[in-house]
Structure 1
Amino acid sequence: MRPPLRRIPAALLLASTLSPFQAAISDEIRAGQFYEQAIQAQQNQNLPEAIIDLKNALQENPNYVAAHILLGEIYLKQQSLSEAEVQLTQAKQLGADQALLIKPLAQLYLYQLKYDQLIKEIDPSRFSRDLQPTLHLFRGHAYVQLGELSAALNEYDMASQINPGQIDSLIGRANTLLRRGDIDGARTATDKALQMKPDDPGVRFVIGSIKHSQGDLNGALTEYDATLAAQPEHLDARLARIGILMDQHRDDQALQDLDYVKEHYSFDPRGNYLRSVILARNNRIDESVKELNTAADTLVNLKPELVTAHAQTLMLSGLVNFGLQRYDIAVSHLQLYVRQFPEQIGGYKLLASALLAKNEPEQVITLLKPVLVRNPRDYRLMFLLGSAYMRTGRHDLASTMLEKASALSADGEQIHTEIGLNLLSMGQEQMAAEELEASFKNNPGNTQAGTHLVSIYISRGESANALRVAKAMVEQAPKNITLINLMGTAQVSAKQYKQARQSFERAIELEPNFVAAYVNLGRLDAAENKLDAAKSRLENLLNKQTDNVTLMTELALIELAAGNPERAESWLAKARKVDQKSIPVLLALIEVKLHTGKTTEAVSIAEAAELIDKNDHKVLDALARCYLANNSRDRALAIYIRMADQARLSAKLLYKVARRQLDAEDQYEAIKTLKKAVLADPKHLPSQIALVETELNYGKPVFALSRAENLRQQYPNRSFARTLLGDIAMHDKNYALAVTHFQEGFNLEPNSQVLMKLFDALKQTDRNSEAYGLLSNWLEKHPEDNVPLAALAEENMRAGRFAAAEKQYDKLLKKFPDEPQFLNNLAYVYFNLGNPKALVLAENAVKLAPEHPSANDTLGWILANTGNPEKGLRYLRDAHSRLSGDPEIRYHIAAALEMLQRNDEAKAELQEALNSGQSFNGIDKAKILLEKLNR
């Protein structure tokens, strides 16, 4: 009868803020009563009354997850798509169990024509076997609409393999084969379906479709009539019948069907289009145009770019679009140019540069090889071709070509610099650093190479190298304030704060109004929490440079860090009066708006910034974050895809984008982005590790295994590769192998992260005493390590060692008095020890974390067992909404319903719990209760 309990991750233990769902609940009992009334109204098919009850429940408690889910499902059934989306999205944000949301979300995506999104977001393998066939069906339907018929057949076949008795997969297969023109195959699938269920409306629809394809319109119409008589909401059958009626010029009857479509499927543009055809052929032109416009508003139509016929403008267009980083347009125009002017070598060079920017080196090689034969001494062509060879991994050819380019160039040092800067522009930091180092070695006074080198090394965390290059440049030019300031920045990266301060002060001594050095000194002050000193320093300079936007922006950021958003916004308002288009000002203002919860205003500012510079990585990142904060997820995901495209071969930027995509639960695109990052820089470990983890959890585990094995070979003395291999073994339920990998990793680099993975693996292999000993031994040496301590406390609680668990949770709560899971678990311990404080602790846990299923289950179960089952049921329902696959919660709900004498509902819940095939605490009592109710 113990509620489901989960160990809190270390990240949560160290968090200083609590859950966002800490709003007070106005009347828990009333909310629960309205929800129970809604369930009964739904069972009686009284959907309007159910909607009213659910709205009342949500008015009492806006965070009532179960009410949001049920209301979303009812709206979806009524085809009220926007309302359904609002409710389902709210439920998801409140932490609803994905298993409860995935089917209505899939249906919503189909209705909204979001086929790509459905395929990207809905992965059947992440859900229980019971859910998988239905999800494969949804994916199959989406692939059919996209015209990817082989993929659709594969989905239907997977659904049939999991559940051979499911007729819908046969119907889907028959429909798909019919679209492919395979009438015999469609008949075979239909015959199998007929044997299973001859009167199924879906089967009748397929039979009608077969007759329709063979020209038997009357026979098809008979089948469509039968389909719609049994299932009036069958949209495909209704649209097919409309088509036949239109072919037979029975427009009045067709319009009656279209009225039904308009009433029940107003979101489908096909209805508008068909109505426009009928109206047009009946000379109702204005009405017809109106219908077409409605259809056009529903669909997103992308018109292809028109290429000018004047060849003289093609090169200019290529140059302009290349400069604006519109590489697709640039390439298309330049390709036309070189076709019309094959003797003009400049077009080839620019086209090759654009193709490299698009990361299409093979096309560059194909393009330039014949051009180089005609122009064998053009070092720029050699440089571009060498860069393309480098990008494809043909390093021998690349070296040869680049050496020739360097030899032919009048300035070998400059060619190294140019190659390095070109590589840097493509995101290839490591190779860029090698080229720039070659140039800098020959000439330490080459500030073009040196300054970029310092930036690269700082960004890569190589502070010693950054400092070495910066000092060498300052030695060459000891009074160059820009280089002195840069050296100070390198010293900050090396944590040489005293020396950095001296460098910035030296720069100011040479130039009293040098803003960059003042800003850096202010940032040093702020980092040392000397906020007043930082503000004073910047304000003094601002008194001399009253219109300096940079100083105003820095002051705003300092005020925001000090917890003064109003003052920050005041500084930024002054800055905007001076320069309305300053990107740093707009970015800072966005942070202020997000900080104060003004998400709509933040979106407006971010969109304005994008109009100024749509290729600025920071602007796009801010815009995406604003969209997410404003619940515009689709727009945010589209921004991240743009960012990944623009990052080109910068592994660091690609990794950052991938992290954003993972945070936004766009795993499909995150995998694509991480693959680009690894291709760009195979030595970028964060991308390598993230790709293995993401492939394992959301992609193809076999790829994850291959990558992890490669990492183990490359880094034999590091633990992360072993840990990844252990994660893969855990995913494959090969727990013994997981123990081996985690143990190897722990032996190489002992830490609590690997410790906990090893602990979990040992538990899975029933080596409980070893797992217990592992934690105990670790805590003897690391008594303040909170994650293992929490795990040990939970182990003691699970084993019924409540006195030991009580002591450990007391210790944890002294450190984390507002940690809801510890309050929840101690409440359960107290409940079993008969301590009356249990209820108070459980209530506090729910107040702090109303979205946690464990907390709701504990409180609901305590309330039900202390004479208040009606109130307890509200919390138990919430727990189920967030963790629907836990049979113990269903048992608790059943027990509460039985206490309220709602025995039929209690029996249904008990049957679901016992049919789950899972063991749970209280299973024997659940069986006894079901026997009692069946008497």
Structure 2
Amino acid sequence: PLLAADSKDAQALALAGEASLLRRDPNRAVSYLASAAALDPDNVPLQTQLSLGHLAVGNTQLGISGLHAAAARDDAQADADILLVRAHLSRKAFDQALAAIEAFEKKNPNSPLPHQLRGIARLGQSNPGAARQSFERALALDPLYFPAANALAEIDMQDNKPEAARQRFERILDKDKTHLQAMLAMAQWAKFSHQEKTHLDWLNKAARAHPKAIQPRMALVNELLVKGDKQAALVLANDAVNSQPDDPVALNLLGGVQLALGDNPGALSTFTKLIRVAPQSPDAHMRLALAEIASKRKADARATLQTVLTLKPDHMQAQDAMLRLAVEDKRLEDAMRIAHQLQTQHPNSPMGHEREGDVLVLQKRPDKAFKAYEQALAKGAGSAGFIKAHRALTLAGNPAAQQKLEDWLAQHPKDNSVRFYAAQHYTQAGRHQQAITAYQALLSQAPNSALMLNNLAGLYQQVGDKRARATAEQAHKLEPANPVVLDTLGWILIEQGQTGRGLEFLQQAHAKAPNVPEIRFHLAAAWARQGDKARARLALQQLLADAPDFSLAASARTLLNEL
């Protein structure tokens, strides 16, 4: 009854408006807030909230004029002034922002914030000199005002003055040795300067100085995950949740680590708690959906994704996940419908066209898929989009595919993703010399890549290049426990007559990857060459029963017939 069409309770209407904003329903929020504001026209915070609602639904002029009016009447807190300035900045209306900052500064002459905002506006006008002066003025008023120090450090970095940037953070730490943002900035500066140990030291210092802070722990967890130390990352993520049990960021961090570790039940539990803490967050529900997908709980995942889309109908990640589930279930028409929906709701994104191409490939329509991928490329699909486009063109049997690949590499000589794809493509097509050239180019930029060395060694062996064994040995030195590297080196040794040593490497490879058909074939062939024909025959029979269509199946059948 409080929310009847003719309700006269401004407070109830205002609360309903705020609730609608939290539910991401700005149109309904504006309706409630407009009714409340009409009942209480002198309530400046309410008028401000209504103006924000107008901005949220795209009524820019109404929103701006409302904030102007609220700022003119708000003599004390100046909240409307700040929001007005930020609204102008977001629209890149820098002259209007500067005018609003002047009014804001008169109300707060001793605050660094007007100068900070003025600096941002000056940067927007491509005037870094004036911006620097504004940020310096902000720091003069408050030497610990980190946003200004950080902005100045960014200008220093653009001017190629990294030491000046570092000194700005050090000056803050001289005054406050546990200043969290300055400590994190020092860590970031060290990372930029390739000082890995110093980078980690600063993150650890920040974590120790701020036991409940999530930021340093999140950064440390990400570093540990990159290094492959997932267990240490899990310990840190658990510490973050233990110190802040209801912090959404901490819960999200822990759930992400659990997913990375394959602890799907743990991730489900963590993300379920995250939803209890943030029930209106579409991203929280999205995280749960990802855990449900990883747990093969498709029906639950679809229901959770539907919740995400109810909260935010254009949630791109949820739409993409729905599309992928449809593809898995072979509901290609549903997948295509979602792809077209992505194109409509996100017209500037390449994703909708890229997904349309993916579905068309599955429908065995590669020529149409190529056209969809071309549209995705026009909207910024990049290397991944080009690779898909080239595959579609190749599947369609279009003779222009080869020229397009060469043209792309000529126009993007540092695109290692496409060059690596090209090397694999040439290898599969039997164009070994072109593949060798591609891998050599990749190695010139990454000389310690065991993967590139391994693949190059295999190609050298196929064309009879004497560099095969030395290249394989180099890859093995870099990654001595990698089963693929062990397999390549072992097989090269077998083919070069070193059966005993080659068999040793192949057995190591098989012990580490017992289900890889190519390794099983090489091991069986080695036994055959060693004279253990019965063992080789049994191994080949089992291999062809398990993987009748693997890449070397024809060679395996030939060898089995010979035996």
RMSD: 4.9
Which runs of no fewer than 5 residues in structure 1 stay unpaired?
1-369
Return the match for 1:471 from 88, 98, 117: 98
1:772 aligns to what? Answer: 402
Distance 1:546 1:749 in 2: 44
Deviation, 1:505, is 0.5
Residues 818 and 540 (structure 1), Cα distance of their counterparts in 2 relative to 1, 3 Å cut:
closer
Return the match for 1:930 from 557, 560, 563: 560
1:704 aligns to what? Answer: 335
Superposition pairs for residues 71-150 of structure 1, below 5 Å? none
Deviation, 1:724, is 0.8
Q: Read off the aligned partner of 2:69 and give its amino acid letter.
A: N
Residues 731 and 598 (structure 1), Cα distance of their counterparts in 2 relative to 1, 3 Å cut:
closer
Using the size of structure 1 for normalisation, the TM-score is: 0.49
Return the match for 2:450 from 820, 832, 837: 820
Deviation, 1:510, is 3.7
Residues 386 and 762 (structure 1), Cα distance of their counterparts in 2 relative to 1, 3 Å cut:
same
Distance 1:534 1:699 in 2: 55
1:370-425 deviations in whole A, cap 9, x for unaligned? 4545993212333454567788899886654443222123446532534678x8xx
**Is residue 140 of structure 2 the alignment partner of residue 509 of structure 1?**
yes
1:379 aligns to what? Answer: 10
Greater Rg over alpha carbons, structure? 1
Deviation, 1:515, is 4.9
Distance 1:880 1:711 in 2: 45
Q: Read off the aligned partner of 2:250 and give its amino acid letter.
A: V
Distance 1:825 1:547 in 2: 49
Distance 1:471 1:694 in 2: 49
1:22 aligns to what? Answer: none
Q: Are the equivalent residues in 1 in contact too, given 2:203–2:219 (CA < 8 A)?
A: no
Q: Are the equivalent residues in 2 in contact too, given 1:379–1:408 (CA < 8 A)?
A: yes
1:898 aligns to what? Answer: 528
Distance 1:704 1:508 in 2: 54
Return the match for 1:721 from 337, 340, 352: 352
Deviation, 1:527, is 7.2
1:606-639 deviations in whole A, cap 9, x for unaligned? 5454344333343334445666788866545533
2:470 aligns to what? Answer: 840
Using the size of structure 2 for normalisation, the TM-score is: 0.76
1:52 aligns to what? Answer: none
Residues 605 and 471 (structure 1), Cα distance of their counterparts in 2 relative to 1, 3 Å cut:
farther
User: Relative contact order (C-alpha < 8 Å, sep 6+): which is higher?
Assistant: 1
Distance 2:364 2:327 in 1: 13
Deviation, 1:721, is 1.9
Deviation, 1:930, is 1.6
**Is residue 72 of structure 2 the alignment partner of residue 442 of structure 1?**
no
Superposition pairs for residues 550-589 of structure 1, below 5 Å? 551=182, 554-555=185-186, 558-559=189-190, 562=193, 563=195, 565=197, 569=201, 581=212
Deviation, 1:675, is 4.9
Distance 1:644 1:457 in 2: 34
Distance 1:735 1:404 in 2: 55
Superposition pairs for residues 84-483 of structure 1, below 5 Å? 370-372=1-3, 376-385=7-16, 400-411=31-42, 414-418=45-49, 430-431=56-57, 437=64, 439-444=66-71, 447-449=78-80, 451=82, 462=90, 464=92, 471-478=98-105, 479=109, 480-483=111-114
For residue 477 of structure 1, give the secondary structure of its aligned residue in structure 2: helix
Residues 777 and 636 (structure 1), Cα distance of their counterparts in 2 relative to 1, 3 Å cut:
same
Deviates more, 1:613-622 or 1:834-843: 613-622
For residue 769 of structure 1, give the secondary structure of its aligned residue in structure 2: coil
Deviates more, 1:657-666 or 1:901-910: 657-666
Residues 758 and 571 (structure 1), Cα distance of their counterparts in 2 relative to 1, 3 Å cut:
closer
1:535-581 deviations in whole A, cap 9, x for unaligned? 4334334444567565455445545655264687479659956x655
Which runs of no fewer than 5 residues in structure 2 stay unpaired?
none
Distance 2:349 2:224 in 1: 43
1:49-97 deviations in whole A, cap 9, x for unaligned? xxxxxxxxxxxxxxxxxxxxxxxxxxxxxxxxxxxxxxxxxxxxxxxxx
Superposition pairs for residues 599-638 of structure 1, below 5 Å? 606-624=237-255, 634-636=265-267, 638=269
* Residue identity (%): 27
Q: Are the equivalent residues in 1 in contact too, given 2:327–2:335 (CA < 8 A)?
A: yes
Paired residues in the alignment total 552
1:163-190 deviations in whole A, cap 9, x for unaligned? xxxxxxxxxxxxxxxxxxxxxxxxxxxx
Q: Are the equivalent residues in 2 in contact too, given 1:602–1:626 (CA < 8 A)?
A: yes
Residues 628 and 535 (structure 1), Cα distance of their counterparts in 2 relative to 1, 3 Å cut:
farther
Residues 761 and 402 (structure 1), Cα distance of their counterparts in 2 relative to 1, 3 Å cut:
same
Q: Are the equivalent residues in 2 in contact too, given 1:593–1:599 (CA < 8 A)?
A: yes
2:391 aligns to what? Answer: 760
**Is residue 115 of structure 2 the alignment partner of residue 484 of structure 1?**
yes
Residues 442 and 673 (structure 1), Cα distance of their counterparts in 2 relative to 1, 3 Å cut:
farther
1:14-70 deviations in whole A, cap 9, x for unaligned? xxxxxxxxxxxxxxxxxxxxxxxxxxxxxxxxxxxxxxxxxxxxxxxxxxxxxxxxx
Distance 1:502 1:805 in 2: 55
Q: Read off the aligned partner of 1:536 and give its amino acid letter.
A: Q
Distance 2:277 2:55 in 1: 16
Distance 1:885 1:399 in 2: 61
